[in-house]
Each structure stands twice: as C-alpha cells, then as structure tokens.
Amino acid sequence: MLRFFNNFKKINNHTISLFFNNNRNFLIKNILYSLKKRHNKQFLFIGLNNYDIEIILNKKISIFQILKFFKNSMLYQINTLVDIVCTDFPGKTPRISLIYVLLSSQYNQRINFFVKPTKMQVSSITKIFKNASWFEREAWDMFGIRFKNNKDLRRILTDYGFTGHPLRKDFPLTGFYELFFNDVLKSIKTSPVSLTQEYRKFNFPLPW
C-alpha cells in the first residue's frame, strides 16, 4: 500500500509539472504575441531569455507611461517590482542602462524592461510601485541617475556629504576621502586620501 502511494505521488507530481510547464509556455507565447501586435512601434526589441521576457524601450517612450499601462492591464497582471538594475559602460553613449525587473504573480512570469537614459535622468515610478523609492535612491547614490518626481531622492548606502558615485567605472577604487578615528579628539574624522605609492599608475609587467 505504501509503495502504491509513493508511485501515485510521483506520477501526480510529474503530471502537475508537465501541465505547469505547458501552461506557462502557452502564456509566454500569448504575451509575446500581444506585445508585438499592440506595442511593436514603442519597443526596439522583444524577445525571450531563459523564460524571461526582455523588452528594450524606444528612447522617445516614457518608462512611466509604459509601466503604468502594464500595471493596470488585466491581460498581463504585473503587480510586483522586483528590482531596478543599473549597468555602466563608459565607452558607450548613453553609458548608463537601467533594467526594470517586473513580476506577474498570476502567471509566474518575469518581464524585464531595458531603458537607456540619454541625460542621466529618467521619470520616477514611485506613483506606480511604492517600493521603487528604495531602488531609485540606490541607483542615484551608486550611479548618479536622477529620477524626476521622486520626492525622497537621498543617498541610501553612502555617508552624508559623500562625494561622487562609487559604482561608476571612472570612480577610483581608493575613493577621494577616508574615515579614521582620531585618538586625540576621540571622534571620527575625514581627510583626503593620501597614497604612499602611485597605485593608480601601477606598472603590472614591471612592478618593482
């Protein structure tokens, strides 16, 4: 009896997984078809990468209007903003690209929107997703991207009075200022970074 129950349980789980995968593939195909049919002119690229739908937005299209439409649409049912990812490519123009990772919990499907702000400025989506405020503050703190209509655009990871944006590729690894504890004054002080050796012009083939 126990062996029969275990075999039935395995068969049942296998059939459920097959049904789930087939159903998910069907939903992905419908979403891709509707995107290409309705919004083909607004997107530069629509594709699929490891079951994640990737969309590259046109520069003339506002990310706020697009995400507002997807949030209110009953067809896609996107209700969660998972993350806002930033990447820096100094040799390209524009150098900064944003990736808005959205999730449809109804279909268990992720949709990634790729945006390339031309003037290091993009519209805020805090009115659509309230948790976007933390992600936008992190993007501003680390990369220097300004989000219009964000009423709480403050640094979130670095200290008060910090200069520069640490995750940019042109930011020096040693930074501009350093913190240290002054034993005489018994307090934390800041001072410009002073290097005893020219690490930034280090000769790797002949280090000595």
> Under CATH, domain 2-157 is a member of which superfamily?
NADH:ubiquinone oxidoreductase Nqo5 subunit (3.30.460.80)
| Residue 181: partners with Cβ closer than 8 Å, 6 or more residues away | 187, 188, 189
- Residue 45 CA to residue 121 CA, distance in Å, equals 22
State the residue for tokens 């992190």.
Answer: 138
pLDDT per position in the chain (208 positions), as tens? 444 334 434 444 444 344 445 556 666 777 777 777 766 667 777 777 877 888 888 777 788 988 998 888 887 788 899 999 999 988 888 889 999 999 988 888 888 999 988 788 999 999 999 999 999 999 999 999 999 999 999 999 987 777 888 898 888 777 777 777 888 888 888 777 766 555 555 555 655 5
Q: What is the pLDDT of residue 185?
A: 84
The token pair at 148 is 């219009």
Q: What is the pLDDT of residue 103?
A: 92
| Residue 57: partners with Cβ closer than 8 Å, 6 or more residues away | 42, 43, 44, 63, 66, 113, 114, 115
- Residue 90 CA to residue 109 CA, distance in Å, equals 32
- Residue 37 CA to residue 20 CA, distance in Å, equals 26
Q: What is the pLDDT of residue 200?
A: 53
Note whether 195 and 174 are within 8 A (CB).
yes
CA dist list (Å): 198 to 31, 115, 127, 169, 178: 55, 38, 48, 19, 17
The secondary structure of 40-81 as a DSSP string is TTTEEEEEEETTEEEEEEPTTS-HHHHHHHHHH-TTT---EE
- Delimit the domains of the chain by residue range: 2-157
CA 53 to chain centre: 15
Q: What is the pLDDT of residue 8?
A: 36
Q: What is the pLDDT of residue 133?
A: 94
